[in-house]
Structure 1
Amino acid sequence: MNTHRRTLLTGASVTAAALLAGACSGGGTAGKTEPSACVRVVDETTGRAGSSCLPTAPEKDRVDLTEPRFTHPTRITNPLHPTSEVTQTIMGGQVDGKPFRTEVSLLPGTKTIEVNGNPVQARISQYAAFSDGRINEVALDWYAQADDGSVWYLGEDVFNYENGVVADTDGTWQAGHGNAPAAMIMPAVPKKGDVYRPENLPEIVFEEVTVQAVAQIVDGPYGRVKGAMTVRELHMDGSTEEKVFAPGYGEFSTGKKGGDLEAVSLAVPTDAKPGPLPAQLAALDRTVVEAHESPGAATVREVRAAWNAYRVSDAVPDLLERQMERDLTALEKAGDGEQAAGPALRVAQNVTDLRLRYEPVPTVDLDRLALWSRQLRIDAKAGNEGAAAGDVTGLELVWERVRHEAQDPASVDTDLRKLRVAADGKDRAEMQSLAPELAQHIEELKGS
């Protein structure tokens, strides 16, 4: 997973640009590129390579230059990148001054990717990022674990959104295509000073990681976590970023407080707690649904009372508590006008996240489907075509995660196909017309 992605290629496909970069980047052997004197700095605004070189580490420090063997690639159990063992991770924070939230979910099935002429089965991780509650980026990331325990990144499909629609697919790449090698994203047993490249197609996608410290202790959502690692990540534009990885979570935080920051709110099953949903959390969920449907002074007061009752009755991760306070305060200030739509959505998202500790991911995701169907009705009625199109994407993302659990998925499949046509055609009236039927079919799924 690469949160807070830095996509620098503009106005060109990865395949075409890879041909231009081939002289510098070398061949497509997994983990290997021809040693080069210079990996060029790429301007973040224009996507053009300059004459200056990135301060990359010496080849002798790199631990990703051996060719990986993949016998059981879908068993990704590396403690610092446990892709096949973590069902869903929620991250929160702020980016560019706006509330930022991501859902990282393990999808069913695998993708076959050819590495050095051999087919490798990769696990698929769905990355969905929301800025101010709205869809910002979607990526399907492909990972495989080598026999020595190292984890390799085999590429990603990226979709960057603006105003609810796909603006570009910059950052998309796949091992074996256009000179792109498989790239190590986590050593088997990282040590201080280790260097590796999670993305290694210079001038297209490129990151070089240097391990700064290992065996650290960090504050997790529900207690201290041992065995964490801090790294410094060098990007194509010459900037660097600090990241922390932690056992049971994988990527744990990016950035720092006071600036752009993304950190784990909670992950399951790592933070799951046996037992029923606490009564106070169930009450909070009910009041939040009411306020999402009809924001106003009375319903928001009920949310505030329910939130105060819940947070004194149960452990709440610090990050989620701060986010809930921020969003609920914004909702209280917004009144019952259009300004309430954004904070009401974010408050509802926060509560679904809190429920993950006690309820299975498919159960929570079914209610996220209902959340996005409510938001679709709100945005279509308000005439916000871009937001409504983004709501359809939100529905499709969650459905991709739970469809295999549904006894009869046909009705929702049909609804979403129709909604996608309406969204692509900017047919707000049709989206508004289709939303109630979808909501009914979602309720039927929840009751089955």
Structure 2
Amino acid sequence: MRRTLAVGVAAAALMFASASSASLVVDDVGIRPPDFSEPTTVDNPLAPLSQVVHAVSLGEDHGTPLRIETTLLPETKSIRWKGGSTEVIVSQYFALVGGELVEVTYDWYAQDDDGNVWYFGEDVVNYKDGKPANDHGSWITGTDGPPGMLMPADPQVGDVFHPENIPGLVYEEDRVISTTETIKGPQGPIDGVLEVREERKDGTVEKKYWAPGYGEFRAVTPGEEDVSIVFTLPNEIQSDGSPFALTELQQHAAGAFDLARDARTEDLGDLAITMFEDWRAYGAAEQAIAIKPYVKAVDDALARLARVVATRDTEASAQLAIELELAVLDIMATHDGPPDDLRIDALERRRILEDEADDRAAVANTKALIEVLQDRENPID
């Protein structure tokens, strides 16, 4: 888990010994296993994992653009441990670094009767050049050890808990630093944010910020990674259905790809003007409340497409038409939820260009991303 407990009384005692005298280790599952009457209702205010059904985070990983998407899947999973079983929710996580798929993970969570959220493991696939490279970081409760506490019901400053603690495999120790932080959210300031200092098995330290109504909102590893949520469902949904002008812009971007492929440069120039008109018709008011990085991506893609269309560079025009369409689809997601079918169509067009360029790694990467999107369903349905 980029972002779990004692195996018995002895291990729990070791955790107590490692914490400072001012700290309280709160994840005592090895001593007192929790009760799970409604485990798939995960509504802890700081980790509402069954309520926030989709999230997109943007940031940087060692200076390279980072995009993370998490989606609550419709199915649940039964995990056996301690002679019984617990039903858990399943969340799909994937990360793109510089547009390259680097990780796909299926995480398992449940909430106990006291409101604590538990992490039951993860099925990890790490990617290299579009191909599965390894499953480092995978573990499951029962087979590998007990669950880890992701979020206490009532975290207090000084509390210590362990989202992952499987000896020899994974380890994360979280310490609550503050419960009163304020951070900038997609719709304005968010108060009552929990700040956590997380230390991992490899010695790296990460700051995490958990926001009410959102969950893990920001993660910072100094000098390495800084990523924050920019959009969630249902928190940032704007309206029922995408405005006509936005749908037109998406369709025209798809059409621009076809015109570029057919070298119809005059028609492509006319369509470029039409797409600017579509974007203006979407309206300043709509753009003002839209996700700012999404708006900037459309602005930039439109401007770059117009420049290459003017030079009659049809190959670059086809590439930028896809880039524009993907940017528009991000904004459409804020109205309708993720339009994965249209996103897959755009990626299929991108794969055509990559295949013609004989870029095997790019083809494999796009194919893998398409498969990830096919493996989830639109969470707004």
TM range (shorter): 0.7 to 0.9
User: Which residue matches 2:195?
Assistant: 230
Instruction: Please state if 1:190 is matched with 2:167.
Output: no
| 1:19-45 residue CA offsets vs partner (Å, 9 max, x unmatched) | xxxxxx99745x983433899xxxxxx
Farther off after superposition, 218-227 or 104-113: 218-227
User: Quick one: structure 1 residues 365 and 287, their matched pair in 2 at CA, closer, same or farther if it must change by over 3 Å?
Assistant: same
Q: Aligned-pair distance for 1:157?
A: 0.7
CA distance in 1, matches of 2:225, 2:304: 20
Counterpart residue identity of residue 366, structure 1 = D
Return the match for 2:51 from 85, 89, 98.
85
User: Which residue matches 1:121?
Assistant: 87
User: Which residue matches 1:392?
Assistant: 367
Instruction: Please state if 1:210 is matched with 2:175.
Output: yes
Instruction: Please state if 1:199 is matched with 2:164.
Output: yes
Q: Aligned-pair distance for 1:169?
A: 0.9
Give 1:290-329 correspondences, 5 Å limit. 290-291=255-256, 294=260, 298=269, 306-307=278-279, 310=282, 312-314=284-286, 315-324=289-298
Return the match for 2:11 from 30, 33, 43.
33
Instruction: Please state if 1:354 is matched with 2:319.
Output: no
User: Quick one: structure 1 residues 93 and 304, their matched pair in 2 at CA, closer, same or farther if it must change by over 3 Å?
Assistant: farther
CA distance in 2, matches of 1:56, 1:349: 47
Aligned-CA RMSD value: 3.5
Percent of matched pairs sharing the same residue: 31
User: Which residue matches 1:14?
Assistant: none
Q: Aligned-pair distance for 1:326?
A: 6.1
Counterpart residue identity of residue 153, structure 2 = A
Q: Aligned-pair distance for 1:324?
A: 4.9
Farther off after superposition, 198-207 or 304-313: 304-313
Q: Aligned-pair distance for 1:144?
A: 0.6
User: Quick one: structure 1 residues 292 and 115, their matched pair in 2 at CA, closer, same or farther if it must change by over 3 Å?
Assistant: farther
CA distance in 1, matches of 2:194, 2:64: 27
CA distance in 2, matches of 1:38, 1:326: 53
User: Which residue matches 1:276?
Assistant: 241
User: Which residue matches 2:27?
Assistant: 64
Mind listing any 5+ residue stretches in structure 1 that lack a counterpart? 7-24, 40-54, 407-448
CA distance in 1, matches of 2:282, 2:175: 42
User: Which residue matches 2:342?
Assistant: 367
CA distance in 2, matches of 1:132, 1:122: 32
Asked if the contact 1:132/1:346 (under 8 Å) is kept, the reply is no
Asked if the contact 1:115/1:182 (under 8 Å) is kept, the reply is no
Q: Aligned-pair distance for 1:248?
A: 2.3
CA distance in 2, matches of 1:230, 1:328: 39
User: Which residue matches 1:416?
Assistant: none
Structure with the bigger percentage of strand: 2
SS of 1:272 mapped into structure 2? coil
SS of 2:202 mapped into structure 1? coil
Q: Aligned-pair distance for 1:221?
A: 1.1
CA distance in 1, matches of 2:40, 2:130: 33
Counterpart residue identity of residue 109, structure 2 = Y
User: Quick one: structure 1 residues 220 and 115, their matched pair in 2 at CA, closer, same or farther if it must change by over 3 Å?
Assistant: same
Counterpart residue identity of residue 57, structure 2 = M
User: Which residue matches 2:138?
Assistant: 172
Q: Aligned-pair distance for 1:195?
A: 1.2
Asked if the contact 1:92/1:262 (under 8 Å) is kept, the reply is yes
Asked if the contact 1:163/1:386 (under 8 Å) is kept, the reply is yes
CA distance in 2, matches of 1:111, 1:218: 34
Q: Aligned-pair distance for 1:198?
A: 0.7
Mind listing any 5+ residue stretches in structure 2 that lack a counterpart? none
User: Quick one: structure 1 residues 144 and 331, their matched pair in 2 at CA, closer, same or farther if it must change by over 3 Å?
Assistant: farther
CA distance in 2, matches of 1:360, 1:139: 21
SS of 1:35 mapped into structure 2? helix
SS of 1:108 mapped into structure 2? strand
User: Quick one: structure 1 residues 343 and 38, their matched pair in 2 at CA, closer, same or farther if it must change by over 3 Å?
Assistant: farther
Q: How many residues align?
A: 366
Q: Aligned-pair distance for 1:286?
A: 2.8
Compute the TM-score of the two structures, normalised by the length of structure 1: 0.71
| 1:235-270 residue CA offsets vs partner (Å, 9 max, x unmatched) | 222221111111222111112898622111100111
User: Quick one: structure 1 residues 192 and 331, their matched pair in 2 at CA, closer, same or farther if it must change by over 3 Å?
Assistant: farther
User: Which residue matches 2:209?
Assistant: 244
SS of 1:285 mapped into structure 2? helix
Compute the TM-score of the two structures, normalised by the length of structure 2: 0.83
User: Quick one: structure 1 residues 284 and 380, their matched pair in 2 at CA, closer, same or farther if it must change by over 3 Å?
Assistant: same
User: Quick one: structure 1 residues 99 and 83, their matched pair in 2 at CA, closer, same or farther if it must change by over 3 Å?
Assistant: same
Counterpart residue identity of residue 211, structure 2 = A
